[in-house]
Amino acid sequence: MKRFLLASGLALSLVACGENGNNSETAQTKENLEKPAEEQTQEPTEVPEPIEAESSDKYSYEMVVNDLDIPWGFAFLPDGSILITEKKGEIIHFKDGQKTKIQGAPDVYDRGQGGLLDVVLHPNYESNGWIYFTYSSKEGEGDGGNTALMRAKLEANQLTNKEVLYKASPNTTKGQHFGSRITFDKDGYLYFSAGERGARDVNPQDITRDNGKVYRLNDDGSVPSDNPFVGKPNAVEAIYSYGHRNPQGMILNPETGEIWVHEHGPKGGDEINVVKKGANYGWPVVTYGENYSGTSITDERSKPDMEDPIFYWLPSIAPSGFAYVTSDKFPELKGNLLVGSLKFQYLELLELEGKKISKRTKLVEESGRMRDVRQGPDGNIYIAIEGKGIAKLTNNQ
């Protein structure tokens, strides 16, 4: 109903514009609106139409850490040094211009999109020393692997105090859709994502199964008592939201306190979603995308009991890494979002007005597969580029 009211408002305002009223799209909308509500075939209007991306040559980058393979994630330690996860299973500590391989990295299932994935420090790292990693793990029943969350401490180039806090199951030998990003919210809850592991008809819509989910845990891995599915029969109580496909970007929006994810959709269906407690993000029942072969997954783009994305990309950019810029170093970027594109090998600037994306701009085009983006403690913007390393954004002006 809300959707219909919004659609009506939009159509009426277009009609009222007069000179826009002659185009067929508006005429059709007006005709459609004259039908009884149950016969109307409105496109959902809470989701804006895709926007074309513009190119900008205002930015370049300079390499900070060279010669990395697939730097999947990175985190800045209080001394300004950088911890980097290499997908193949290595943790690199970059300090004073030197790379050191950290001993004791988790044993990863390095297959397809799986391997050593994200790394994030606890918000109180300086007092407790906890570092969190996601990775694909072979632990548990069955061949293959699935997404796991570990915390550990770093002492003398060695991971110590390792604790596996979560391991999704069952294992599968499929190589796709492990997720997985980690973010803490303002109250200290930890969120992480696990993709649907190539089992879209089994996992994402079923809250008794892992995968295709965003999880919320306490920092020690226990399940918060107010998680949405606590006490529901057979539910995986760590689940916070479901119906996701493969989120590889997650941020805390510092303005709203919300957790936002972006996720790889099928062809034409990459999305940005605001994560809400217990909400269903629709995959694969509703989607703006289609199969990569061009065949349809579903005609349904929206349902009343499922959350619409606030934005979707057409064509898909294959998003990885997500940052909300608060730094004053780049006034044009401040208050806006940055997303890496694996497919088109650039950094995308998404200008934000509340929850609306108003403009898309391609920065540092043809750089390479952009795997991650973070704002550093020095206010600079750092990007992880596959086959290159970690680089710092620079302003050409």
Choosing from 73, 212, 268, 282, the residue that interacts with Ca ion (CB under 5 A) is 282
CA distances from 262 to 24, 184, 338 (A): 34, 16, 11
Dist CA 79 CA 255 (whole Å): 27
Compute the distance between CA of residue 396 and CA of residue 28 in angstroms, rounded to an integer. 47
The least CB distance from residue 287 to Ca ion, in Å, is: 6
Q: How far is the CB of 309 from Ca ion (least distance, A)?
A: 5
Stretch that binds Ca ion, among 2-10, 21-29, 86-94, 278-286 (CB under 5 A): 278-286
Residue 384 and residue 373 in contact, taking contact as beta carbons nearer than 8 Å: yes
Stretch that binds Ca ion, among 64-72, 97-105, 151-159, 276-284 (CB under 5 A): 276-284
Catalytic pick among 122, 177, 244, 264 = 177
* Binding span for Ca ion by CB under 5 A among 24-32, 185-193, 277-285, 341-349: 277-285
The bridge status of strand 347-353 relative to strand 90-95 is: unpaired
Distance in Å, CB of 206 to Ca ion, minimum:
16
Question: Cβ-closest residue to Ca ion?
Answer: 282
Q: Which of 123, 128, 115 is nearest to 89 (CA)?
A: 115
What residue type is 163 in one-letter code?
Answer: E
Q: How far is the CB of 301 from Ca ion (least distance, A)?
A: 9
**What's the DSSP call for residue 141?**
S
Q: Which of residues 244-273 bind Ca ion (CB under 5 A)?
A: none
User: In the complex, what is the shortest distance from the CB of residue 303 to Ca ion, in angstroms, rounded to a whole number?
Assistant: 10
Nearer to Ca ion, 67 or 299 (CB): 299
Q: Does residue 281 touch Ca ion according to CB under 5 A?
A: yes
Q: Confirm if 45 and 367 have CB atoms less than 8 A apart.
A: no
CB atoms within 10 A of CB 272: 22
Contacts (CB under 5 A) with Ca ion, residues 174-233: none
Nearer to Ca ion by Cβ, of 133 and 281: the residue is 281
370-382 residues labelled b (16+ CB within 10 A) or e (exposed): bbbbbbbeeeebb
At 32, is the secondary structure helix, strand, or coil? helix
Nearer to Ca ion, 215 or 281 (CB): 281
**Interface with Ca ion, residue 71, by CB under 5 A:** no
Interacting span for Ca ion (CB under 5 A) from 19-27, 87-95, 125-133, 282-290: 282-290
Total site size for Ca ion, rule CB under 5 A? 2
Is residue 322 a contact partner of residue 373, using CB atoms and an 8 Å limit?
yes
First to last CA, the chain: 49
Q: Which is nearer to Ca ion, 209 or 301 (CB)?
A: 301
Q: In this structure, are residues 348 and 338 in contact, taking their beta carbons and an 8 Å threshold?
A: yes
- The question of whether 177 is a catalytic residue gets the answer yes
Give the residue numbers annotated as catalytic, written as ranges. Answer: 177
Q: Which residues bind Ca ion (CB under 5 A)?
A: 281-282
